[in-house]
A and B are shown apart, each in its own frame.
Chain A
């Protein structure tokens, strides 16, 4: 390989077919005189502009588009040299850092010698070692192209905002399960908004046996084993549900607040007492109607109960998880949009409450397709306010434009699977921790189950890895009509 050009943070390197450099690979451009080296990542592979190649190709196709038949008697064996030159490629590389005295700095301000520099591939383990990525709580994400393991530190997910995105069926849920299971292994508390009911079985192996994490997985299905009593609710949580999920107008909300306080003072915070109070409320007919309709929505959700014995599971699960780590899977499958929003309002309110009162240290929240249940104001809350309470969110989506730009800008880590759509790539490339060229070039060519990891988990050295398999029962597969389809 030979250094050809440097423009800004882009290096162009001439490479030959036997050197096998591909998109995503890291190269070390060492200047022996400067005693420094540039660490650059291949973001595109192009044909080198070799003079005469067009003529060479044209003369192989002169006979009406069919290759002309013939024999080349090449006694000096020049043909391999022609192929060697013709197949030369130009590696477009993004400079990631400078290595000097075994220390990495993000600088790319110096120019290595074009004639004296030596260029070699930098293996992922070596890069990880130099960048000190692994840490003390390793999570093996998968294998890289050079058959090494990509290991990240669980601590680099702590206090961070993460995004897992890619087009559907490319392995996003699989990766989120892997991260979840790994975090549980380090005794972390994980809460999952499970839109498709696919996380409930991560305590089981693929063949249906219980795995190591079986007792740490708490699957909560609303209206079944997950109910809540009004007495357990704080007024602000209820108001959140009414205003944000059920869109209760301001005047009616004020009336509700008054009713709630009265019932609480009377020690009679039950569904039946609430219904009776609304019926007997001496107020404007429209206000009463508004409150009545919300009351029925709450009752019909089946999520609320007057039986305290039925309403302790979330609290218990959080307590269990606090000690030994665990995952609370909120199964949102088969719930209506309104019920889903009620649930999410409740759970987030409960988490904030628990964290504020230090019942919990911190929670890793995994939210699949959050735009389907997360109210507008929560997006900003999650990246600002809730982070300080200790809620560290990972968004999982196949529609990157449903996540607000502000989330991308503040995302600490992005796990990017394949995207071919330009618009999707545009959205993701707005993330602050990554350059648009890398996203556009590498993500488009990612094979199935391969993920481009960006951000703090890899010390800002984007790395492509094939996500390792996980021995858990999969529940997120697409239901097919033609079962025998390959």
Chain B
């Protein structure tokens, strides 16, 4: 399989597949990370007082959506197929007087010859300020698309959105790497195939899907949570009394501009666990190939609560544990001399045990 045919060139620090893919982005990530951390020196640093929040994208409500309650029955196809998945994670480590310190990490996982393998990239640590946020983002955008992010200041992302933006950049880059390097496989994305947001520009998503198709891959996007509703009920909670595995088809999915769905939406219940997930399949994929793809997924991957293990591993591997957050704090204190200060947590100060922090308020 292509994944194991990378030509790896040793660099002083780490290996990246060199000839076939663009390695500019991770190098820029590293450069920007170090550069931004140097800017924080010798500022004092306020630990993040909120519970660790790992950001996810969310979707807008479409109209005219219909759900076909007739299940499309599936049968596991055990023909050996590479399953690959990608996920990224970001976390706010703390605040400085001028900005925030964040960490980003991505992971690709693939199942080949009945064994799981992974590549984990990061963590990259950034000090993002109002001053450097455009520079950081634009440098990475340029490394990725060779284009600048919208130079109009009013459209630039808010400081608090920067972690998700940077993580999305890394995620798209990892998706494109899989699309280029895997062939005749199934590529699993975390989330949907809806494009047109800052994080998922239409052109970028189209390119990824096109690359995947070029290599005979099929892209399947699983959403852990969905807000899509039919008749007021979530589509994943309208399951027929039918023996899984099966799919439910939806039709009439349309979003308000500029959002465009690049996949057809299904509800997938892949095993007897009572959970079903929104599944987006590349629209350009012929119907028969879609069903074969899902059946190959059933025959080649494991399922925990009806969710593909490869994708679950990607998520698990990129997620930051509390231990890692402590280690990152240790790193920035030791390597960059950032002194930790204890600024009072106003929520706790004012509300005592009721002060749970902003995200709950």
Contacts and interface: CB of A to CB of B under 8 A. Distances in A.
A76 B321 contact: no
Interface in A12-38: none
Nearest to B119: A71
Nearest to A79: B327
Interface string B319-338: 10111111110110010000
A62 B119 CA distance: 15
Contact of A81 (B115, B122, B309, B327): B327
B316 A76 contact: no
B117 interface: yes
Contacts of A68: 116-118, 313
B118 A75 contact: no
A166 B118 CA distance: 51
Interface residues of B, number: 37
B115 A71 contact: no
B76 to A, nearest CB: 19
Interface of A: 50-53, 55-56, 59, 62-63, 68-76, 78, 81-82, 84-86
Given A50-B326, A63-B115, A76 B331 contact: yes
Contact of B13 (A53, A69, A75): A75
Interface string B332-348: 00100000000000000
Contacts of B30: 75-76
A50 B120 contact: no
A73 B16 contact: yes
A73 B324 contact: no
Nearest to B13: A75
Interface string B289-304: 0000000000000000
29 contacts: A51-B322, A52-B323, A52-B325, A53-B323, A55-B322, A56-B324, A62-B309, A62-B313, A68-B118, A68-B313, A69-B116, A69-B118, A70-B120, A70-B317, A71-B15, A71-B118, A73-B15, A73-B119, A74-B123, A75-B14, A75-B29, A75-B124, A76-B30, A78-B324, A81-B330, A81-B331, A82-B323, A82-B327, A84-B327
A51 B321 CA distance: 8
B117 A73 contact: no
B328 A81 contact: yes
Contacts of A52: 321-326
A434 to B, nearest CB: 37
A84 B327 CA distance: 8
Given A59-B316, A70-B119, A73-B122, A82 B14 contact: no
B121 interface: yes
Majority SS at the chain A contact face: mixed
A63 B313 CA distance: 9
A436 to B, nearest CB: 34
B125 interface: yes
Given A76-B34, A78-B123, A81-B327, 4 more contacts: A69-B117, A70-B117, A73-B120, A78-B327
Given A70-B117, A70-B120, A76 B33 contact: yes
A63 B112 CA distance: 13
Contacts of B244: none
Contact of A78 (B29, B117, B331): B331
B26 interface: yes
Contacts of B116: 62-63, 68-69
Interface string B6-49: 00000001111000000000100110011000000000000000
B15, B124, B322, most chain A CB atoms within 10 A = B322
Given A50-B323, A56-B323, A62 B316 contact: yes
A78 B324 CA distance: 8
Nearest to B110: A70
Given A59-B317, A62-B316, A84 B123 contact: no
Contacts of B319: 55
Given A70-B120, A73-B121, A82 B324 contact: yes
B319 to A, nearest CB: 8
Contacts of A62: 116, 309, 313, 316
Contacts of A53: 321, 323
- The interface centre, meaning the residue of B30, B309, B330 with most chain A CB atoms within 10 A of its CB, is B330
A368 B318 CA distance: 64
Contacts of A81: 327-328, 330-331, 334
Contacts of B322: 50-52, 55
B324 A71 contact: no
A74 B323 contact: no
A85 B118 contact: no
Contacts of B120: 70-74
Contacts of B124: 75-76
A75 B331 contact: no
Nearest to B27: A75
A84 B330 contact: yes
Enumerate the 9 nearest inter-chain pairs by beta-carbon distance, A residue then B residue, closest first.
A52-B322, A52-B321, A70-B118, A51-B322, A52-B323, A81-B327, A82-B327, A73-B14, A55-B321
A51 B329 CA distance: 14
A70 B112 CA distance: 12
- Most interface-central of B309, B324, B328 (chain A CB within 10 A): B324
Contacts of B118: 68-71
A74 B105 CA distance: 9
Nearest to B107: A70
A152 to B, nearest CB: 43
Contacts of B328: 78, 81
A71 to B, nearest CB: 5
A148 to B, nearest CB: 33
Nearest to B315: A59
A41 B327 CA distance: 29
Interface in B28-82: 29-30, 33-34
Nearest to B328: A78
Nearest to A51: B322
Nearest to B325: A52
A74 B122 contact: yes
